[in-house]
Amino acid sequence: MFARAAASVAVTITLATIDGAAAQPANQPPDTMAARVEACTPCHGNKGEGTSDVYFPRLAGKPAGYLYNQLLAFRSGRRKYPPMNYLLEFLPDPYLEAMAEYFAGEHPPLPQPAPSEVSKDVLAQGELLATSGDASRNIPACVSCHGPGLAGMQPGIPGLLGLRANYISAQLGAWRYGTRTAKSPDCMQQVAGHLTEADVTAVAAWLATRAAPTNPAPVPKGTYALPFGCGSQPN
């Protein structure tokens, strides 16, 4: 009888062990930040500094709120780029928020500005629009939202430094044609809608020539007043 009881206990323990093992995912990798951003770094750089491909932007040092909004936009399809839409489709909000905080906290050096491929006249037109705007066409200056140093403002306005002209042109074009959108009121879509192709080329070229300021960090929220309401920058 004792032998039968011992055998019964052994079977029970064995079954419990099997059941417990089945409840644990096999070979589950640790959920570290390095693992989370592993899919980001081939395109955006190990610290979000950007890569030689001009269409993959710098993420490092941008406001966490801005980065988080972009991740949400890719996940929902409001911002369209199939690889990003696919990668983010099933990731929860807290997961994305932590990734945004990670890249916002990275501060690798900004790259040297690329040599301009446009004429001095085009650069001058880009500088005029970026620093003064064009009131006759309802175009505010870039600096009125992105700051005098173009470093952005917390929590939702990105810096425009360390980006290549082709990337900036592509994003302005996406806003002009409605393939990139943001929270309503979508201030960038309003601005881009007043730009011509020549304006886009000029502004993008001039912005890409800007050298990094001494402190490229985004300024605190409320440092300056925006020219109009913007859904991505709460009051």
**DSSP letters spanning 102-161:** HHHT--PPPPPPPPP-S-HHHHHHHHHHHHH-BGGGTB--THHHH-TTS--BTTTB---T
What is the rounded CA–CA span in Å between residue 175 and residue 187?
10
Check pLDDT > 70 for residue 8: no
Structure tokens at 10: 């052994």
What is residue 1's predicted lDDT score, i.e. its pLDDT? 42
- The whole-number average pLDDT for the span 182-201 is 95
What is the rounded CA–CA span in Å between residue 156 and residue 68?
9
Q: What is the pLDDT of residues 88-130, one digit of tens each?
A: 999 999 999 999 999 999 999 998 888 899 999 999 999 999 9
Q: What is the pLDDT of residues 151-179, one digit of tens each?
A: 999 999 999 999 999 999 999 999 999 99
Check pLDDT > 60 for residue 203: yes
- The whole-number average pLDDT for the span 204-220 is 92
Structure tokens at 142: 């870039």
- The whole-number average pLDDT for the span 183-201 is 96
What is the rounded CA–CA span in Å between residue 1 and residue 81?
69
Q: Between 6 and 123, name the one with better pLDDT.
A: 123
Is-cis flag, bond preceding 185, omega within 30?
A: yes
- The whole-number average pLDDT for the span 196-204 is 98
CB 168 within 8 A of CB 80: no
Residue in the structure block whose two tokens are 């309003």? 190
Q: What is the pLDDT of residues 50-93, one digit of tens each?
A: 987 888 999 999 999 999 999 999 999 999 999 999 999 999 99
What is residue 114's predicted lDDT score, i.e. its pLDDT? 83
CB count in 10 Å sphere of residue 123 = 16
What is residue 174's predicted lDDT score, i.e. its pLDDT? 95
- The whole-number average pLDDT for the span 136-141 is 97
3-state SS assignment for residue 219: strand
Q: What is the pLDDT of residues 9-36, one digit of tens each?
A: 344 434 444 444 444 456 777 889 999 9
What is residue 25's predicted lDDT score, i.e. its pLDDT? 58
Range name among 11-15, 46-50, 137-141, 224-228 with the lowest pLDDT average: 11-15
Q: Which domains does the chain have, with CATH numbers?
A: 34-109 (1.10.760.10), 120-208 (1.10.760.10)
- The whole-number average pLDDT for the span 204-233 is 93
What is residue 214's predicted lDDT score, i.e. its pLDDT? 82
What is the rounded CA–CA span in Å between residue 226 and residue 89?
33
